[in-house]
Amino acid sequence: FAEKVKASFVPAFEDYQKVYNAIAKALEEHDEYDDGSYGPVLVRLAWHASGTYDKDTKTGGSNGATMRFAPEGDHGANAGLKAARDFLEPIKEANPWITYSDLWILAGVCAIQEMQGPVIPYRPGRSDRDLSFCTPDGRLPDASKEQNHLRAIFGRMGFNDQEIVALSGAHALGRCHTDRSGFEGPWTFSPTVLTNDYYRLLLEEKWQWRKWDGPKQLQDTKTKSLMMLPTDLAIIQDKKMRPFVEKYAKDNDAFFKDFSAVVLRLFELGVPFTTGKDQRWSFKTLDAQTS
């Protein structure tokens, strides 16, 4: 009988749109956090859940939500992401049918769209797995390194130079926290709105190494309020990557198009979908539903 009850509820697009709306409303309600939004940290949660993927062993990726467990939750790269997981807990409780792994990715999609980014098509199909599926530490990028490290890390996920640059534009959002990564400050003046400002500022501002006790990071000479990581600098120093930075700095539409395509791929790495690529959904933003 229990099996029958379970089988009788097959969530459809409308059910996921409802969860999307619940996340979007919670984002609006909790504007006391950080720069006024949990959006950036939700995007980072979805990225760190996905970015553990290894194409050779087909391990890691967003299927499993294994960051719920130590050791993965305690990996240095994941410091601070408990804030994002806790933010989503009431939504999981109200919608117990959705898996954590589908919920985290839906939250990433929702946060990007609600922060005025492009639509990220989505399909469910991730299942939660136990701690034996936790990935080893060291699969996510180290911000103190340079382009060869980026190529090794993102190449392992299956991404090329253009895709590394397109993904990096997410740093228009959010900030670094000294009690998380050790770095400090935002990359842009509007850290809760997705724009191509990350690329524009990277090229147009003058950057110098910050004089402080913390880890090596850059600051803009004009306002000294913005930051760049060594890995951010690497994408303009690299001859092959820099043209993509220039392209996205000039053309926000091109950035949005490529960002949507590459984030979609990132969020689907390693997921054994039973539905086809033609069955992805596009959620409506809260604004689009009320106007």
Annotated active-site positions, please? Answer: 48, 187
Q: Lay out the site mask for ligand DDH across 244-263 (x = CB under 6 A, - = otherwise).
A: -------------------x
Closer residue to ligand DDH (CB): 134 or 143: 143
How far is 51 from 62, CA to CA, in rounded Å? 8
Across the strands, what pairs with 220? Answer: 207
Size of the site for ligand DDH (CB under 6 A): 24
H or E element: which one contains 176? strand 175-176
Nearest distance from residue 224's CB to ligand DDH, in Å? 18
Residue choice 24, 43, 49, 241 for contact with ligand DDH (CB under 6 A): 43
- Contact between 80 and ligand DDH (CB under 6 A)? yes
How far is 244 from 119, CA to CA, in rounded Å? 21
- Contact between 44 and ligand DDH (CB under 6 A)? yes
Query: Could you tell me which of 187, 203, 201, 188 has the C-alpha nearest to residue 236?
Result: 203
Number of Cβ within a 10 Å radius of residue 143: 20
How far is 60 from 146, CA to CA, in rounded Å? 23
Contact 214, 182 (CB under 8 A): yes
Peptide bond before residue 191 is cis, with ω within 30 degrees of 0: no
- Write the secondary structure of 155-222 as one string of H (helix), E (strand) and C (coil): HHHCCCHHHHHHHHHHHHCCEECCCCCCCCEECCCCCCCCCCHHHHHHHHCCEEECCCCCCCCEEECC
Nearest distance from residue 107's CB to ligand DDH, in Å? 12
Query: Could you tell me which of 153, 172, 170, 151 has the C-alpha nearest to residue 162?
Result: 151
Closer residue to ligand DDH (CB): 170 or 218: 170
- Contact between 231 and ligand DDH (CB under 6 A)? yes
Nearest distance from residue 53's CB to ligand DDH, in Å? 12
Nearest distance from residue 171's CB to ligand DDH, in Å? 6
- Contact between 61 and ligand DDH (CB under 6 A)? no
User: Which tokens hold the place of 134?
Assistant: 């936790």
- Contact between 49 and ligand DDH (CB under 6 A)? no
Describe the strand order of the beta sheet including 207-209 as a list of residue ranges. Answer: 207-209, 218-220, 227-228
Site for ligand DDH in 134-153 (CB under 6 A): 141, 143, 150
Residue choice 157, 218, 226, 229 for contact with ligand DDH (CB under 6 A): 229
Residue choice 52, 180, 269, 270 for contact with ligand DDH (CB under 6 A): 180
Among the residue ranges 7-15, 59-67, 173-181, 239-247, the one whose residues contact ligand DDH (CB under 6 A):
173-181
Closer residue to ligand DDH (CB): 41 or 201: 41
Nearest distance from residue 104's CB to ligand DDH, in Å? 12
- Contact between 181 and ligand DDH (CB under 6 A)? yes
Phi, psi of 176 (to 5 degrees): -95, 145
Interface ranges with ligand DDH (CB under 6 A): 40-41, 43-44, 47, 80, 141, 143, 150, 167-168, 170-171, 173-177, 180-181, 183, 229, 231, 263
